[in-house]
Each structure stands twice: as structure tokens, then as C-alpha cells.
Chain A
């Protein structure tokens, strides 16, 4: 992961199951400015499919989605 990305909001989604990781991201996206980044950490493997689907549906961007150990780390960019 590159170090030059500024994270505007950290979101702890650990332990949450479907549909909550996606719901929490959607509830928090307006807490960062347009162009801003949420860094979300989930433990539900289903989030790897769901959060990108949420982004595709809502017109936001997944900058990265990485599995590190048992955690799934997303950088989500608000586009509108």
C-alpha cells in the first residue's frame, strides 16, 4: 500500500457480518469530503465481494482491497 494516500476516516468493521460492513461504509461515506478516503478494516470475507459491489452501485471508488492475515483492508474513495 502506498504511503501517500491521506486517510480521512478510519472505520473498524471487525466482527461485523453481512450486511453490516457495507451498511457502515454507506453510512459513513458522507462523513468524508468528496475525494476523501475511508480506510475500513473488516473480518468478514464476504465484505471482499460486497464492498466493491456497493462502490460500483453507488458510484464510489475502491482504491484498494487487501487481505492481510485474517483482516480485509479497504481504501474507499468518495467520488460524489
Chain B
């Protein structure tokens, strides 16, 4: 149960793949619409899903990572048939033809529906992504203890 007696969903988003992020945000927006309290804990490759399109990194490696895995959620490639960006373009076209929302629109809808989004402090430190690189609506970073507390009180726990 969530804080006000609502059912709740706790989700780890570790993947930065386009297809998996679609799944994560469709489930999150659906759960929010169904009146559930939703927690999304973004870690490692998942952090880009809540990033603005800004460059990050302090050290050489951090800046390299920021350059190679930078941008925002619209840079997410599919987990299969990536073909150096071609796959993203093709799936984007196909989804557009079938009138599916863009990933970034679903993500923003999730914020609008009150989905609670948190960055993982440890992976933000390792990947040198500061809190101010995130979009508005992302809450202050937390750790695994916070996530586990949410997860043990939730009816549904997912790892994506």
C-alpha cells in the first residue's frame, strides 16, 4: 500500500533501451491512471530516460561517457535491430504510423500524472550525472534502501 492507502507499484529502470523504456512508461502511466502510487527508480543506463539534453561528466571518462551515451530519452535505441541509429528511426516511423505516443511524450505524461521518479545516487555519482541534468519533476536522488522500503510496501514490483 502507498502512503494514503492506495495500491502501489515500485519499479527499477536499469535499461536505457527504447523498447524497454516504452514498457516501463506505459506500465507507469497505466498504473497512475488506475489510481496507484508509482515509484520509478532509475539506475545506470536508465538514468538517461530522465535526463535533459545536456552534456555531463567531470573527469575524462565521465565526459567520454557523456559524449557517447549523452542526449536525452529520444536518443534511446531499440535493444534489437539498432543498426547505429537506423533501428531507432525505423521503429519511430512505425510507431508514428500506428499513432503510438513518442517515448518522450509518455515520459512527460508520467510526470504529469504524478509518477514519482528518482535517480539512483550511486550510479549518478559513478556516471557523473548531477541532479540538475534531470528534467523537472524528478525528485532528489535516493539509494537502494529507499527503493526497498517502497518495494516492500508495494503490491507490484518490477525490474526493467
Residues of chain B from 46 to 74 with CB closer than 8 A to chain A in the complex: none
User: Which residues of A are found within 8 Å of B113, using beta-carbon distances?
Assistant: 23, 27
A-B interface contact total, Cβ < 8 Å: 39
Q: Which residues of A contact B34 (CB under 8 A)?
A: 22, 26, 53-54, 57-58
Interface of B, secondary structure class, is: loop
Q: Are A54 and B33 in contact, CB atoms less than 8 angstroms apart? A: yes
Of residues 31 to 80 in A, which have CB atoms within 8 Å of B's CB atoms?
A: 50, 53-54, 57-58
- Interface members, chain B 12-36 (any A CB < 8 Å): 26, 29-30, 32-36
The chain A residue sitting closest to B26, CB to CB, is A19
Q: Please report the C-alpha to C-alpha distance between residue A58 and residue B36 in the assembled complex, in whole angstroms.
A: 9
Least CB separation from A55: chain B residue: B34
Interface size, B (range): 10 to 19
A18 to chain B, nearest CB (A): 6
What is the chain A residue whose CB lies nearest that of B35? A58
Chain B residues within an 8 Å CB radius of A25: 33
Within 8 A of A (CB), among B74-127: 98-101, 109, 113
Indicate if the CB atoms of B99 and A19 lie closer than 8 Å.
no
Q: Of A17, A18, A23, A57, which one neighbours B109 at CB under 8 angstroms? A: A23
| Contacting pair A23 B33 (CB below 8 A) | yes
B35 pairs with A26, CB closer than 8 A: yes
Q: Is there an interface contact between B35 and A19, defined as CB atoms closer than 8 Å? A: no
Instruction: Give the distance in Å from the alpha carbon of A25 to the alpha carbon of B30 in the complex.
Output: 11
Contacting pair B98 A19 (CB below 8 A): no
Which of B29, B33, B35, B100 meets A17, CB within 8 Å?
B100
List residues of A whose CB falls within 8 A of some B CB.
15-20, 22-23, 25-27, 50, 53-54, 57-58
15 A-B pairs in the complex with CB atoms less than 8 angstroms apart: A17-B101, A22-B33, A22-B34, A23-B29, A23-B32, A23-B33, A23-B109, A25-B33, A26-B33, A26-B34, A27-B113, A50-B30, A54-B33, A54-B34, A57-B34
